[in-house]
Structure 1
Amino acid sequence: MIFLKAISLKTASQAATSFPLNLPLFGPDFRLEFDTPVTFLVGENGTGKSSLLEGLAVASQRVVAGADELAHDSSLASARLLADQLRLSWSRKTGRGFFLRAEDFFGYCRRLSQMHHDLAKEASQLANNYSQQGRSDLALKLAVGAIRGQASQLHEQYEALEHRSHGESYLHFFSHRIVAGGLYLLDEPETPLSPQNQLTFMVVLHAAAQAGSQFIIATHSPILMAYPYATIYSLDTVPPQVVKYDQLEHVNLTRRFLNNPAAYLEGLLR
């Protein structure tokens, strides 16, 4: 399912002096069209991949799987400037989905833990207040039950992530939190994953795309880029261009290196 059909700028940003609008990416011809459920954004560091995803997350009001909620995340201050200038073209809006920066996954786990702690504390305080007021057991059960239920769900989510390795908890998160009919914005999701687990992630990605979800992913991983049903945008060109897998410098550089690493390093390190 293609929920978000295209993004462009409301006004030309040639005169913009504030980051990230001053990046070459956000010139007057900036426009991306999404024709497949999976789109990869590829380019060198500094081309604006992360800035674009962050601005898109704000503009589309995604839930942030990170340390802070969207409205309170101070790291997204510059993204809000970009979001104000983005024009989003929808086939149908969806509130499902989330924005995830791989670097902030531990922050998300800490946030779950803190939310569980706060709910447990709230339930305890409410139970104490009801007891002091002489309220009935039924009233106490009704008042506290919902809070404890939420706390229990959060505890289960956090425990499931806490007792796994970084890569395993990351895959567990994706396999349990991605649902059909969502728009997911992922910034370098390969970061904590081994090559084998990147392939496992691709299986999760494919199943979700077939179930009706849409993904826009910034990545440096030649493994993920090989997903055969994706559109690949190169942000190394201005405006961004759709490219084929074998045209990517990421892919060709990795291939040349793996074909003969000793010879490659001999020339590089002499």
Structure 2
Amino acid sequence: MNNSLLYLRHAELLRDKVSSFHNYPFHLPAVRTLERLVFEKQVTFLVGENGTGKSTLLESIAAAWGFNPEGGTLNFSFNTRPSHSILHEFIRIARGTQRPKDGFFLRAASYYNVASYIDQLDEEPGGPPIRNSYGGKSLHEQSHGESFFAAFIHRFRGRGLYILDEPEAALSPLRQMSLLVRLHELVQQNSQFIIATHSPILMSYPNADILLLEGEGIRQVALEETEHYTVTKAFMNDREGMLNELLSPE
């Protein structure tokens, strides 16, 4: 799937409409220097240190596409607590020539609200229960990790645009590897993923673009260039030495 066939081709910040880059969210490193974020692969990872603006940028892209800022499908319209930024109002997206048949915005921070909304809808009369699309069981009756994985396995149907914010938050390393398998299945079904993550396991997906958000802006890097990879590798290769350095009294 080349760039022209991707569902989401780029996201552009309308800089001339921004009155000040000193106020939230425009002062965030990922936003302050943003002009156009181009997507060239079916899988794109946004990585960087906490506070660089990964989640805020991802949220704005999802909202500009039409997703509920708290997560879910395009049909979800609940509003538990307005906490999203106004950034989406300054983002212009370019859609591809093909339209996705499916889509989901998964936010680890507000997935509980999505689960509650599904239960609320299922209490209303008429139509099959929505939980049937998530394995037939209330997401609240599963562990946090199980409920995450239920969406990946049952709700994601392929030919979709999937925007994921830290999907590894509730997943064990083994489950993260299982998520890679499911991601690959969906990629082969003409799906596109944009994922904000701290997980070196997820970032290892082959032929993906890794975009590093830092103070100077956004640049493409290899997995081995990310701090997530180098720090994890250094720690595991010399665990005792790293622990001695970290825990020794000054």
Query: Structure 1 residues 29, 65: closer, same or farther in 2, change over 3 A?
Result: closer
- Counting only pairs closer than 5 Å after superposition, residues 37-48 of structure 1 correspond to structure 2 as 37-48=42-53
* Secondary structure at the counterpart of residue 191 of structure 1: helix
CA distance in 2, matches of 1:110, 1:38: 29
Tell me if structure 2 keeps the 8 A contact 1:58–1:70: no
| Map of 1:153 onto structure 2 | 129
1:204-254 deviation digits (Å, cap 9, x = unpaired): 111111111111000000110111121000002532000001111110000
CA distance in 2, matches of 1:230, 1:69: 29
Cα drift, residue 107 of structure 1 = 2.1
Cα drift, residue 170 of structure 1 = 1.7
Pairwise CA RMSD: 2.3
Query: Structure 1 residues 82, 29: closer, same or farther in 2, change over 3 A?
Result: closer
Note if 1:26 corresponds to 2:31: yes
| Map of 1:128 onto structure 2 | none
| Map of 1:101 onto structure 2 | 107
* Secondary structure at the counterpart of residue 82 of structure 2: helix
Normalised TM-score (structure 1): 0.80
CA distance in 1, matches of 2:90, 2:101: 21
Tell me if structure 1 keeps the 8 A contact 2:29–2:215: no
Q: Which residue among 7, 16, 31 is the counterpart of 1:3?
A: 7
**Rg larger for:** 1
Cα drift, residue 167 of structure 1 = 1.7
| Map of 2:187 onto structure 1 | 209
Normalised TM-score (structure 2): 0.86
Tell me if structure 1 keeps the 8 A contact 2:78–2:117: no
CA distance in 1, matches of 2:149, 2:29: 34
1:143-187 deviation digits (Å, cap 9, x = unpaired): xxxx1xx2x423544625344433223212211111222111100
Note if 1:115 corresponds to 2:93: no
Query: Structure 1 residues 51, 29: closer, same or farther in 2, change over 3 A?
Result: closer
Amino acid at match of 1:4: L
Query: Structure 1 residues 88, 15: closer, same or farther in 2, change over 3 A?
Result: same
CA distance in 2, matches of 1:268, 1:77: 36
Note if 1:235 corresponds to 2:213: yes
Query: Structure 1 residues 237, 243: closer, same or farther in 2, change over 3 A?
Result: farther
Tell me if structure 1 keeps the 8 A contact 2:15–2:35: no
CA distance in 1, matches of 2:217, 2:80: 29
How many residues get paired?
237
* Secondary structure at the counterpart of residue 129 of structure 2: helix
1:96-142 deviation digits (Å, cap 9, x = unpaired): 3121111222222222111122x14xxxxxxxxxxxxxxxxxxxxxx
Tell me if structure 1 keeps the 8 A contact 2:25–2:87: yes
CA distance in 2, matches of 1:7, 1:252: 29
Tell me if structure 2 keeps the 8 A contact 1:6–1:88: yes
Note if 1:175 corresponds to 2:153: yes
Tell me if structure 2 keeps the 8 A contact 1:31–1:239: no
| Map of 1:83 onto structure 2 | 88
Cα drift, residue 31 of structure 1 = 2.3
Tell me if structure 1 keeps the 8 A contact 2:45–2:194: yes
| Map of 1:123 onto structure 2 | none
Tell me if structure 2 keeps the 8 A contact 1:30–1:240: no
For structure 2, the residue ranges without an aligned partner over 5 or more in a row are none
* Larger CA deviation: 187-196 vs 4-13: 4-13
For structure 1, the residue ranges without an aligned partner over 5 or more in a row are 121-146
Greater helix share, 1 or 2?
A: 1
